[in-house]
Amino acid sequence: GAGVSQSPRYKVAKRGQDVALRCDPISGHVSLFWYQQALGQGPEFLTYFQNEAQLDKSGLPSDRFFAERPEGSVSTLKIQRTQQEDSAVYLCASSPGSTWGPEAFFGQGTRLTVV
Amino acid sequence: SQKIEQNSEALNIQEGKTATLTCNYTNYSPAYLQWYRQDPGRGPVFLLLIRENEKEKRKERLKVTFDTTLKQSLFHITASQPADSATYLCALRSNSGYALNFGKGTSLLVTP
């Protein structure tokens, strides 16, 4: 596709429900990042993939958060037993190189609301 | 701990004036610094990257400076337009790991 695509755009989950957020990066991009952005805040790093390898998951807030990129393209961020504090926009970004470079592209994000 | 600080208050300026946004950081040893623009409901969009050995970088009406001694970057928009109204984020690569860490952003409003 032309850009990074995230789905769904909006998700409402009841507390305790599991959710899965999808990211389709730009074809051929090696690096993929997930961020969490609370209202009025900057994006907070969650995790990084280089192809299918998850090289950094230091930002995942708890073991309820899990991310995968099994074939080195599409990635899924899964949140188990959602809590109200998980409500935020989840952003995905991809970059053609193996590290951050000048051409990093973000998707529009998935707005998660936990009720 | 590593910190990135941007003006927390919104910046309101008149069309045609120069907007100047500040990014200060502590406990980073950055090889480069990036600036992004974010509009409501959208993901950040990359604007400029400046490397540690560059004092200044320009792109059309944008100018970025980078002072590694002061640990500060300034982001200027000259001849500002209402379409420049957005939140501007600065970002630095973590000293360890792969994270690109962002400041909270500064909201800019340009009025006609």
Q: Which amino acid is at B58?
A: R
Take residue B75 and report the two structure tokens written for it.
């982001």
Residues A23/A74, Cβ–Cβ less than 8 Å: yes
B40 CA: distance to closest CA in chain A (Å): 10
pLDDT attached to residue A75: 98
**Set of chain A residues whose Cβ sits within 8 Å of the Cβ of B1:** none
Q: Is the pLDDT of residue B99 over 90?
A: no
The overall average pLDDT reported for chain A is: 93
Residue A33 makes CB contacts below 8 A (sequence gap 6+) with A45, A46, A47, A48, A49, A92, A93, A94, A95, A104, B98, B99, B100
Question: What are the DSSP calls for B4-55, one per residue?
Answer: EEE--S-EEEETTSPEEEEEEEES---SEEEEEEE-TTS--EEEEEEETT-S
Cα–Cα distance between B33 and B90 in angstroms, integer? 7
Cβ pair B89:A43 closer than 8 A? yes
Categorize the per-residue pLDDT at A69 as very low, low, confident or very high, splitting at 50, 70 and 90.
very high
Mean pLDDT for the stretch of residues B29-41 = 91
Structure tokens at B13: 């300026």
Neighbours of A30 (CB within 10 A): 15
Tell me the per-residue pLDDT of A84-107, one tens digit each, with 9 for 90 and over: 999 999 999 999 887 656 567 999
Distance CA A65, CA B46 (A): 27
Partners of residue A100 in chain B, C-beta under 8 Å: 34, 93, 98, 100
Mutate to test the interface with B, among A35, A89, A100, A105 (most CBs of B within 10 A): A100
Q: CA A61 to CA B57: how far, in whole Å? A: 36
Mean pLDDT of chain B: 93
Smallest CA–CA distance from A49 into chain B, residue: B98
Residues of A in contact with B34 (CB under 8 A): 100, 102
Q: In chain A, which residue's Cα lies nearest the Cα of B96? A: A56
pLDDT digits over A28-57, tens only? 999 999 999 999 899 999 999 999 999 999
Cβ–Cβ below 8 Å for B100 and A4: no
Q: Out of A75-79, A95-99, B5-9, which region has the weakest mean confidence (pLDDT)? A: A95-99
Work out the pLDDT band at B7, boundaries 50, 70, 90: confident
What's the pLDDT at B104?
95
Q: What is the pLDDT of residues B71-90, one digit of tens each?
A: 999 999 999 999 999 999 99
Provide mean pLDDT across the span A56-85.
96
pLDDT surpasses 60 at A78: yes
